[in-house]
Amino acid sequence: MTVTENPGQPNAAAPTPPAIELIGISKAFGPVQANKDITMTVAKGAIHGIVGENGAGKSTLMSILYGFYKADSGRVKINGVETEITDSHAAIAAGIGMVHQHFMLVDTFTVLENVILGAEDGPMLKPSLAKARKELQRLANEYELDVDPDAIVGEISVGFQQRVEILKALYRQAEILILDEPTGVLTPAEADHLFRILKNLKEQGKTIVLITHKLREIMDVTDTVSVMRRGEMTATIETATTSPSKLAEAMVGRSVIMEVEKAPATVGETVMEIKNLVVKDGQGVERLKNISFSLKRGEVLGIAGVAGNGQTELLEVLGGIRPATSGEVIMKGDSIDLTIKANAQKRRHRGIGHVPEDRHARGLVMSFKTWENTALGYHNEPEFSKKFGMANQKAMLADAQGKMERFDIRPPNPQLVASSFSGGNQQKIVLAREIERNPEVLLIGQPTRGVDIGAIEFIHQQIVKLRDAGKAILLISVELDEIQALSDRILVMFDGIIQGERLPENTDKNELGLLMAGVDPEAEA
Amino acid sequence: MDFGSILQILDSAVRFSTPLLLACLAGLWSERSGIFDIGLEGKMLIGAFAAGAFSAIATMPVYDGGWGWQTGGMWVGMVAAIIASILLALIHGVASITLRGNQLISGVAINFFAAGITVLLGASWFRQGGDTPQLPAGGRFRPIELPLSETLSDVPVFGPIYQNLISGHNLIIYFGFFAVLATYWVLFRTRYGLRLRAVGENPGAVDTAGISVVKLRYSAIIITGILCGIAGAYLSLGTSAPGFGRDMTAGRGFIALAALIFAKWRPVPAMWACLLFGLLEAISTKYQSIDLGFMVLPGQFMQALPYVMTVVILAGFVGKAIPPKAGGEPYVKER
C-alpha cells in the first residue's frame, strides 16, 4: 500500500495517517544499547501492545516518545507530521499522554491538584481547579473513570491512583495514551476495569499503546502487537493472527542453538525439598502461589518462564534475601529459616550458594576491587579474618588471584574495580566466588545475561562441572536455549505457579512456549 | 506582673521573633521546593554584615571615605544584604541542584564561609575587630508611629496595645508579618505555589508535566536568599544597637530551622513558632533570673531556653513532622 502524505491539505479520500510512526530509533545508555534501530507504526484508534521481557527496551522506547529521554538517532511522526519531541512538554503538545509504571503523582496533593499540575489555565489556581472539577465530572461519566476529586492521592488505592494518571492525560487532551506495565500493581478486578476503560477510550477514537510482559493482556485487548527483544523490535503482527506461544517464542527468541557437552546426569538423593511456598509482595499481590518441588544431587533443575512470573521471588526466598509468606523448605532433613530473620550469610553456612539475577545490584559492589568482591559475603570466614575482627587482606588478595586464574577472568588483576570488567568477566567473578565455596546447592539466576558468547560457553562448562561433582543446581533463566541445553529436568513457571514439568529430551520449544504462556498443551489436547 | 510589663514583653517578643520569622520563611521556600538548607545561618550572617558595612559606608562622612549620605543609608545596606545573601544561595543552588551534591555539606560550608569572610572583610575595612561602626539615624530603620497612636492611647486596653504592641515598629518587622501572608497566598493560591510544592514532593511528576525542575528550584532558592538577606539586615539595621557585630546571628538560623520543623513547613504556624521563640528570648532578656518562690532560676538558664527548646523540638518531641518527600535528594531522571 502506498500512502501519499500531504499533511498540509487534509484530504477526505486519503487514508488517515498512522497516529504514531517511529523510524529508526536508537538509544544507548553508556555501553548498553537499549534501543536498536526501531521502526514501528501504530494506526489511529488502535490498541497496540508492546511485549518483551524486562530490560528489552520497551520502557525506554516509550520514554523517548514521551520526551523523557532523547533518542541518539531516529525520527518520530505523529499523525503523519514529523514531530520533534524534545521534552515532555512537546509530547503533551503533540497529544501524547503517558501513564508511567511508577506513578508521577504528588501524594500530598488532592486528585484535582494533581490533574491540573502543569496544565493550569492561569497564574491563579481557583479558576483552574473549578474548570478541572467540571471536566473531571464529564470524563468520569464518559469513561467510567470516577475518582473523588478532593481525595488526597496518597490515601487512595493504586487502582484509583492509576485512574488519576489516565485522567491527567485526558485532561491534557491526549489523543495517544501510553501505558507502561499498567497491571503490575493492580488486582485482577482492577485490571479488568482498566481494560474496559481502555476499550472505551478506543471507541472514542483514542490511540493506545500498552506496554506489558503479560501475554494474556495482549491477547485480550490489543489489535496489533510488537515484540521487543534485547533492544530490537523482532516482530509486529496483528493480534488475531498470533497465539501466546508464538509471542512467547518471539520474546524469548530463537538464538543460535547452544550445545553443551555433558555426560548423562547421575542423580542422587533429594537435597532440597520446597513445600507449598507462598510469597506476597509489598502490595499484597501473590507472586508465588503454593509452589512445591524437589532438588536432587547431581542434577541441573532448570526453571523456564517469561520474566516476571515469580522466578525472581523464588530465587530470592531460597537465597535468604526475601521472606516467604508461608510454606516450608527442607534441606537434608532440617527446615530452613524463611522468615525475615533469614539472611544470605546463614544460607551460605547451610551450603546454599547464590548467583543473583542482577549482578550489578546484587552480585557485586561495582566500585569495589575484585579481591574485595571475591571475598564479599565470606569476609567473616576464618581464612579471611585476623584477630580483633580485622580483615586478612593478604589472604583475600591471594584467593582472588587464584580465582582469576582458574576462571580465566581478564585482565587478571585483582586490584581492578568490578565496573572495569566486561559483563562476562563480571559474571565470572560472581561465579568463581560462589562455585569455589563448593556449595551443596547452587542457585543461579540468568547466568549469561549480557555475557559474550565465549564467556557463555565457559560459564556453562563450570555449571556442568559442579553438577558432575554431585551438587544440586537450580538454574533460572529466561533464555529457553540455555534451559534446554543445561537442564536435566525443566519446570515452567507462569503467574506464580509451576505450569508444568518436562524432561528436555521429551519436549520442544513449542511445548515449552505454550507452557510459558500459561497454556497446558496436554490439558488442551 | 502588671499589664504594662506584659505589653513590654510581648513588644520585645515581636522584635526578637522578626529575624527568626524571616529566616524561617526563607527556609520554608527552599525546603518546600526540595532543597534542604542548613545554610540559613550563614546567609543571614553575610546579610547582616553587608547591611551593616554598606549602610556604614553610605553614611560615613566623605573625608572618611564614605558617601556622606544623611538619610537613606539603610536602603543601600538592605540592597547589599539581599545581593550578598542571594549569591550564597546561588552557590548552594549550583552545588545541590546543578551539581547534585550533598545539600547538608553545602549548607555547612556556607555557614563556615560566612562566619569567616564577614570577620575578615570587617576587620580589613573598618579595623574594629570584625565589627562595623555604629550607625547613625540615617543609616538604619527607625520605628514607625502608626496614625492615631497618641490619640487612641487613652482608650482602655486597646489603646496601649495599639500604641505599644502594634505601632512603633520598624518597616522590616511589618514586612515580616506581611511575608507570612504573602508566602501563604503564593504557596496555596497560585500556580507557581502548586508547582513549587509539587517539586518538593515528587520532582518526577513536575518533570513529566513538562515543567523544568531546575528552574523551579532555582527560583525558590533565590526567594530564600532574599528573605535571608532581609533577616540579616534586620539584625544590623533594625535593632536598638545598630551595626554589625561578629557572629551576631548567634545560631538564629538554626532556631529558625527548628521553628520550621515545629511548624511542619507551613507559613502561619511558622509565625506562631517564631513568636514563641521570640517570647522566650524576650523573657530571658527582661528577667535576668526568675524567682519561683521555692527556687531561683538563674539567668543563664533563661538565656539557654531558646536553644534548649530548639533541641527538644528537633529531637521530635512535638509529634511527627513529615518533611517534603523529595527534600535533600538531588533530582536525577531515572535510567
What is the domain partition of chain A in residue ranges? 20-242, 259-351+439-525, 363-437
Least confident of A132-136, A464-468, A507-511: A507-511
Output the pLDDT for position A441. Answer: 95
B122: its cell numbers = 570587617
Cβ–Cβ gap B209/A66 under 8 Å: no
Q: If you average pLDDT over residues A56-79, what whole number do you get?
A: 90
Q: A396 and chain B: CB distance < 8 Å anywhere?
A: no
- Checking if the pLDDT of A1 tops 80, the result is no
CA nearest neighbour of B30 among B98, B114, B97: B97
Output the pLDDT for position A55. Answer: 67
Instruction: Considering only the beta carbons, identify the residue of B188, B202, B210 that sits closest to A88.
Output: B210
Instruction: Considering only the beta carbons, identify the residue of B188, B202, B210 that sits closest to A106.
Output: B202
CA distance B254 to B275: 15
Cβ–Cβ gap B201/A123 under 8 Å: no
User: To which residue does cell 525520527 refer?
Assistant: A75
Residues of B with CB under 8 A from a CB of A: 188-195, 197-198, 201-202, 204-211, 325, 333, 335
Q: Which chain B residues touch A123 with a CB distance below 8 Å?
A: 190-192
Question: Is the CATH number 3.20.20.80 carried by domain A20-242?
Answer: no
CA distance B280 to B277: 5
CA nearest neighbour of A49 among A219, A192, A175, A166: A219
CA distance B149 to B167: 7
Q: Which chain A residues touch B335 with a CB distance below 8 Å?
A: 29
User: To which residue does cell 582469576 refer?
Assistant: A404
Residue B322 CB neighbour total at 10 angstroms: 9
- Checking if the pLDDT of A340 tops 90, the result is no
- Checking if the pLDDT of A524 tops 60, the result is no
DSSP class of residue A101 equals S
Output the pLDDT for position A6. Answer: 45
Q: Which chain A residues touch B193 with a CB distance below 8 Å?
A: 125
CA within 13 Å, CB half, A97: 25
Fold match between A20-242 and A259-351+439-525?
yes
Q: A113 and chain B: CB distance < 8 Å anywhere?
A: yes
pLDDT tens per residue, range A469-485:
999 999 998 888 889 88
H/E element, B150: helix B149-152
The answer to whether residues A434 and A355 touch, using CB atoms and an 8 Å cutoff, is yes
- Checking if the pLDDT of A430 tops 90, the result is yes
Instruction: Considering only the beta carbons, identify the residue of A88, A102, A124 that sits closest to B190.
Output: A124
Distances (CA, A) of A300 to A263, A363, A437, A463: 12, 21, 18, 8
CA nearest neighbour of A42 among A27, A62, A56: A62
Which residue in B has a C-alpha nearest to residue A59's C-alpha? B335
CA nearest neighbour of A162 among A182, A142, A146, A144: A182
The answer to whether residues B43 and B82 touch, using CB atoms and an 8 Å cutoff, is no
For an interface test with A, the pick among B187, B208, B211, B216 (most A C-beta atoms closer than 10 Å) comes out as: B208
CA distance A202 to B289: 78
Output the pLDDT for position A87. Answer: 87
B238: its cell numbers = 533594625
Distances (CA, A) of A15 to A10, A11, A45, A507: 10, 8, 13, 47
Cβ–Cβ gap B190/A123 under 8 Å: yes
CA distance B174 to A175: 51
Output the pLDDT for position A393. Answer: 92
Helix, strand, coil content of chain B in percent (nearest 5): 70, 0, 30
Output the pLDDT for position B1. Answer: 67
**A·B CB contacts under 8 A:** 77
Output the pLDDT for position B14. Answer: 95
- Checking if the pLDDT of A63 tops 80, the result is yes
Which ipTM did the prediction report? 0.87
Taken in order B202, B208, B209, B211, is the CA torsion positive or negative?
positive
B116: its cell numbers = 569567616
pLDDT tens per residue, range A364-418:
999 999 999 999 988 888 889 888 888 899 999 999 999 999 998 888 899 999 9
Closest approach of chain B CAs to the CA of A123, in angstroms?
Answer: 5
H/E element, A176: strand A176-180
pLDDT tens per residue, range A209-265:
999 877 778 888 999 999 988 888 988 999 999 887 788 778 766 554 456 778 888
Per this entry, what is the length of chain B?
A: 335
pLDDT tens per residue, range A82-109:
999 988 889 999 999 999 888 899 999 9
Q: What tens-digit pLDDT sequence spans chain B (335 residues)?
A: 688 888 999 999 999 999 999 999 999 999 999 999 999 999 999 999 999 999 999 998 888 888 888 888 999 999 999 999 999 999 999 999 999 999 999 999 999 999 999 999 999 999 888 888 888 888 889 888 888 887 888 888 888 888 888 888 999 999 999 999 999 999 999 999 999 999 999 999 999 998 999 999 999 999 999 999 999 999 999 988 888 998 999 999 999 999 998 899 999 999 999 999 999 888 888 877 777 778 888 878 877 887 887 788 777 666 677 889 888 888 887 54
Instruction: Considering only the beta carbons, identify the residue of A107, A113, A125 that sits closest to B189.
Output: A125
Question: Is the CATH number 3.40.50.300 carried by domain A259-351+439-525?
Answer: yes
Phi, psi of A220 (to 5 degrees): -70, -45
Q: A372 and chain B: CB distance < 8 Å anywhere?
A: no
H/E element, A276: strand A270-280
CA distance A175 to A155: 29
Residues A365/A370/A371/A374 CA torsion (nearest 10 deg): 60
Cβ–Cβ gap A107/B191 under 8 Å: no
pLDDT tens per residue, range A496-519:
999 999 999 898 888 888 888 887
Helix/strand/coil (H/E/C) assignment for every residue in A46-63? CEEEEECCCCCCHHHHHH
The band of A7, judged by pLDDT with boundaries at 50, 70 and 90, is very low
Output the pLDDT for position B317. Answer: 66
H/E element, B92: helix B73-93
